[in-house]
Structure 1
Amino acid sequence: MPGFKTLKLLLVSVLLSGTALAASDEAPKKEYPVDPVSGLKMAPGWEMVNAQCNACHTTLIVGQNSGDEKAWRETLQWMIDTQGLWDLSETWEPILAYLSTHYGVADIDMETFRRLPLDPALMPPPKK
């Protein structure tokens, strides 16, 4: 009968091999080049985002922000409600998909940015 140490090593090796198999099942995330002018990742939909966003502000600001689909939806709705952004109509969903996919929370490049964005609850109250 194998000793406790042998069983422990066997268990660890089985667990590690399962982890390795699970990790290899995930498709690697495709890396896209960055457009040197707009600063946007040249993934499908980037031209639409470039045309829509760059009409009001530099697209370099896109890479300084991040969020899941809900956060980007709220940001775009804020722009519509308060900043004069036009109705995005049929471009709404493709723009949301591009932004949440390529500028999601996990995509913040900590080599470029100093810190993650502050939680809104930690922000000071607005001045009146």
Structure 2
Amino acid sequence: MEGPDKFQESARQIYRMMGVVFAVFTLIGGFLVYLMIDPDLSAFKPQPEMAIAEQTVVAEDDFDKIENGVHLRTGFVEGEGLMTVVNNCTNCHSARLVTQNRMSAEGWTATIRWMQETQNLWDLGNNEAIIVNYLATYYAPENKGRRQNLEDIEWYALED
């Protein structure tokens, strides 16, 4: 083997080695990416079937549980119309979006109208009065007035 044949054979060997090196790096890279996603390799550990079934049953039992006057899944206050509010309001947004607001019946009605006009909220029908009554009762504005005076505060001078 001389000249061009020897060169071609050397080139083939180099390309084969490069292919092997590329394959090795691809496998190592894929494994490292998998480790980033599942660092404890839990997909390869056996999962006890009974434990999974028991967890599912517990979750279903607690789905609409109320404890200390609070609906655990949503954080809504227990009261007349609670489940109507849960079924209508939490289909589109978190319950926290409701509980962080305080409005009168007129304010809640205006918010419902806004959602119907701009956010494709369906016609609530007879449920609207139940929802507005619940929200105006439990999430009405709080008249606290001026904040309480600060007491027992140890003040200190700021350093320059």
Task: Spell out the pairing of 1:63-102 with structure 2 (5 A cutoff).
Answer: 63-102=99-138
Question: Counterpart in 2 of 1:25?
Answer: none
SS at 2:71 equivalent: coil
From 104, 115, 119, the counterpart of 2:140: 104
Higher relative contact order (Cα pairs below 8 Å, separated by 6+ residues): 1
Measured in 1, the distance between the counterparts of 2:109 and 2:90 equals 18
Asked which structure has the greater CA Rg, the reply is 2
Task: Spell out the pairing of 1:1-128 with structure 2 (5 A cutoff).
Answer: 33-106=69-142
Give me the CA root mean square deviation.
2.0
| Percentage of pairs with the same residue | 32
Measured in 2, the distance between the counterparts of 1:63 and 1:74 equals 17
Structure 2 gap segments, 5+ residues each: 1-67, 145-160
Measured in 2, the distance between the counterparts of 1:85 and 1:105 equals 24
Over 2 Å off, 4+ runs: none
Structure 1 gap segments, 5+ residues each: 1-31, 109-128
